[in-house]
Amino acid sequence: MTEHTWSDLTSAQRDTLVTIARLERDDIPATNQRLTELVDDSRALKDLLGTAITTEQDTYTLTNSGHALLRQHQARLTSILGHPNSDATVAVPFCPQCHAPITLLSPRDNTSVRATPCGCHLEIDTERDPLYETLTDALALAHNRDARTHLRQALQLTIARGEQ
Q: What are phi and psi of 98, to 5 degrees?
A: -120, 0
State the nearest-atom distance from the C-beta of 100 to Zn ion, in Å.
Answer: 5
State the nearest-atom distance from the C-beta of 111 to Zn ion, in Å.
Answer: 17
Residue whose CB is less far from Zn ion, 18 or 120: 120
Residue whose CB is less far from Zn ion, 74 or 97: 97
C-alpha torsion sign, points 91, 110, 99, 14: positive
State the nearest-atom distance from the C-beta of 123 to Zn ion, in Å.
Answer: 12
Q: What are phi and psi of 116, to 5 degrees?
A: -115, 140
Q: What are phi and psi of 49, to 5 degrees?
A: -65, 130
Confirm if 116 and 100 have CB atoms less than 8 A apart.
no
State the nearest-atom distance from the C-beta of 101 to Zn ion, in Å.
Answer: 10
Please report, as ranges, the residues that interact with Zn ion according to CB under 5 A: 95, 97-98, 118, 120
Q: Which amino acid is at 91?
A: A
Residue whose CB is less far from Zn ion, 97 or 111: 97
Residue whose CB is less far from Zn ion, 90 or 95: 95
Cα–Cα dist 52/17, whole Å: 8
